[in-house]
A and B are shown apart, each in its own frame.
Chain A
Amino acid sequence: MSADEGEAIARLRRGDVDGPAALVARYQTEATRVAQLITRDRALAEDVVQSAFVRVYERIEQFDAARPFAPWFFRMVSRDAVKAAQRASRQVPLSVGPAGSALEQVRDEAPGPELLLATLEQFDSVAAALAQLSPAERAVIVLRYYVGLTDREVALRLGSPPGTVRWWLHRARRRLSRLLRQPDHPGADAGAQPHEESEG
């Protein structure tokens, strides 16, 4: 933990409401990126990160100062992002999203290949493929391949059993590679699947 972080946390423990300022300045961008990758919604991601910082202020007594701050904080962000994305996915958006209009989504819950292809043509390949995953699958992909955690750390971060996380990861990778193998897809890499690198 850096000296700035230590000072910010000490101020927080003293009840100084300006204590989180340094932590916000340091982590807001990275936390918003993680939340954005999981939720696929910028406004939702900012809400998640904002709430996480407020929770840091309220629950700073629960934080073990002997440990680094970032994992503790990013655990909150990733869990909240998954919950927020799951809540959002249960609501039918009124705006036209990448998968078509709200009416189309209601009428045809499983997008057909034409719709999927059109979607993938419009959007960046990996980003579009990521959006097709469930929030939990996105979370494991993001934590595993963006944050760079091991399976075990991902499980700890999400508060789920390691076996469940491994299953999510396996299913997410399979779906991702299937989506990226779509014909005429600019980012398609036929036959390639994300494979585990050695955990370190």
Chain B
Amino acid sequence: MKARQLSRELRRIARREVPTGEPDLWPAIRRQVAPRGDVVAPSGRQRARSTGAEVESVYVWRADERRRPFSARLRARVAVLVLVVVGGLLTALLSSHGGSALPVGAGVTPSPMAAATPATSASWTSTGALTIPIVLLAVAGVGGEVRAQIMPSRDLLLTFAVNGPASELEWHVVSGLCATALRGTATPAPSQDLVPPFLAVGGGPSPSDGPSTHVPAAKTHQPLTLVAVYLQESLPVACATVPAVPMNLTLTFPPAAEVPSSCPITRPSSPPFVPPIPYPSTPNYGAQFWYGSPALWTAQPLGGAWDGLPHRADGYFQKVFWWTPDYPAELARDPAHYGFPPFTVTGRWLDGDAPPLAADRATNATDGNGTSILVGVTFPTAGCWQVTGTYEGHSLSFVIWVGGEESRVAAPSPARASGRPGITVVRGTERPVRESRGS
């Protein structure tokens, strides 16, 4: 083979193996050259890797130990140490006062629902309050990245990537903590509301930005970025409406409809059932608890009753939500294409003979609790019902007291609490509908 022929062959191989126009390295390079403390807005809409939920905004705080002089590293470590101590004290202080101590301001407005949530007494230990500062310390010390993703549901998902010498640890720590408070406004405000002003330097990126928006942060803002990320995390933890890890959880049942003692309503298991990661450890609806198994679970009212249900010609109507890891967001996103979930719901009236309950075709719903299967159920009569849901060989039954408007009591009702503010329901190919609270 002559030299010219070899050259020609090499060019042919090169063109075949790396076609013209490939690769597109700029996004990855751009992330790497972003200075510490920079806030990088996503290019277009993204999806969270863990839940598949759409992400509105991504804010990244990066630390690269190798580029920093020793004095800067020392200052960073001292600053983080102070943050850990102060944040820990703040967290402990707020936790000791319960949810009512959540400071108003800071972009977080307690929702009317949170305020109306019946009193619950909970003793819990939050690993989040301890682990997150430690991870931040590690990120500041050895380099890494903190990524805060704000979901349309107003949930905050923090992701830490700590760059070690040989491996990278990616840890999804928080999903939907204290989302009841964060999701309090009836009309969701722009996501920047959740970002402290000093983080959104330069006007801040807009979620609707098409091209990548780079917001350079001044050097003086870098520690503030860290504070922002820390406060974003510590305050929701401190508000304590949703414990990060419910240990020794004790619940005081709220006043609800008068449920006869003959009705064996489903109560929280002991210890409480906690769904697998990344689902929140308790439902984000207030006055409810998770019930079921890691394969299939649902949210149940603490009082064991759905009262105040709308009465239709054929009975009392309620939407029942079921969660399973086997129903991924990819399927839920386009039910018309992938088919509706083969979920069946049956029911039995425990007070005697009654016509069976009628269940609508299952569809999907997505909110701060992740993707769920939604089934509209019509109970032909009020009373004590055993409801059973079945999906992919997994079954789950619970007993609930069903009542209409006439059974409503003065106290906040679980049924009303089960209204899902801000939930996005997708039916077939219709446009997503944002339901109003309490619908």
Contact = CB atoms under 8 A, between A and B. Distances in A.
A24 B25 contact: yes
A46 B33 contact: no
Given A17-B35, A17-B214, A20-B29, A146 B14 contact: yes
Interface in A27-41: 28-29, 32-34, 36-37
Given A28-B25, A50-B25, A197 B3 contact: yes
A37 B23 contact: no
A197 B15 CA distance: 23
Nearest to B32: A54
Contacts of A176: 1, 6
Contacts of A194: 1-3, 6
A131 to B, nearest CB: 10
B6 A126 contact: yes
Interface string A125-151: 011001000000000011001101000
B25 A49 contact: yes
Interface string A51-84: 0011001100000000000000000000000000
A18 B214 contact: yes
30 contacts: A17-B214, A17-B216, A20-B33, A24-B29, A25-B26, A28-B25, A32-B25, A33-B15, A33-B17, A34-B14, A37-B10, A37-B14, A37-B17, A42-B17, A42-B18, A45-B18, A46-B23, A49-B23, A50-B28, A53-B29, A54-B29, A54-B32, A57-B33, A58-B33, A124-B13, A145-B10, A187-B1, A189-B1, A189-B5, A195-B3
B29 A196 contact: no
A133 to B, nearest CB: 12
State the main secondary structure of chain B at its contact with A: helix
Interface of B: 1-7, 9-11, 13-15, 17-18, 20-26, 28-30, 32-35, 38, 214, 216
A54 B26 CA distance: 10
A187 B22 CA distance: 28
Contact of A177 (B1, B24, B35, B38): B1
A25 B23 CA distance: 10
Given A20-B29, A28-B23, A145-B10, A36 B1 contact: no
A17 B30 contact: yes
Nearest to B11: A146
A10 interface: no
Which 6 pairs of residues, A with B, have the shortest CB-CB distance?
A: A33-B14, A146-B10, A126-B9, A33-B18, A145-B7, A57-B33
Contacts of A146: 7, 10-11, 14
A70 B3 CA distance: 24
A180 B216 CA distance: 55
Interface residues of A, number: 42
A150 to B, nearest CB: 12
A37 B17 CA distance: 9
Contact of A17 (B6, B21, B33): B33
Max count, chain A CB within 10 A of own CB: residue among B15, B17, B22, B28 = B17
A180 B10 contact: no
A126 B13 contact: yes
A54 B18 contact: no
Contacts of A57: 29, 33
Contacts of B3: 145, 194-197
B2 to A, nearest CB: 7
Given A29-B18, A194-B3, 12 more contacts: A17-B33, A17-B34, A20-B33, A24-B26, A28-B24, A32-B18, A42-B17, A42-B18, A57-B29, A57-B33, A127-B17, A176-B6
A88 interface: no
A198 B30 CA distance: 42
Contacts of B1: 126, 176-177, 180, 187, 189, 192-194
A21 interface: yes
A130 B1 CA distance: 13
Contact of B22 (A32, A124, A130, A193): A32
Contacts of B21: 29
Max count, chain A CB within 10 A of own CB: residue among B9, B28, B29 = B29
B25 A145 contact: no
Contacts of A145: 3, 6-7, 10
Contacts of A20: 26, 29, 33
A130 B13 contact: yes
A166 to B, nearest CB: 15
B25 A53 contact: yes
Contacts of A195: 2-3
Contacts of A17: 30, 33-35, 38, 214, 216
A58 to B, nearest CB: 8
A187 B13 CA distance: 14
Contacts of A50: 25, 28-29, 32
B26 A29 contact: no
Given A18-B214, A124-B13, A29 B28 contact: no
A21 B15 CA distance: 22
A140 to B, nearest CB: 12
B55 to A, nearest CB: 22
A157 to B, nearest CB: 16
A37 B11 CA distance: 10
A68 B30 CA distance: 23
A126 B10 contact: yes
Contact of A37 (B4, B13, B34): B13
B14 to A, nearest CB: 4
Given A17-B35, A126-B9, A146-B11, A197 B4 contact: yes
Max count, chain A CB within 10 A of own CB: residue among B6, B20, B21 = B6
B371 to A, nearest CB: 32
B192 to A, nearest CB: 22
Contacts of A53: 25, 29
Interface string A96-127: 00000000000000000000000000001011
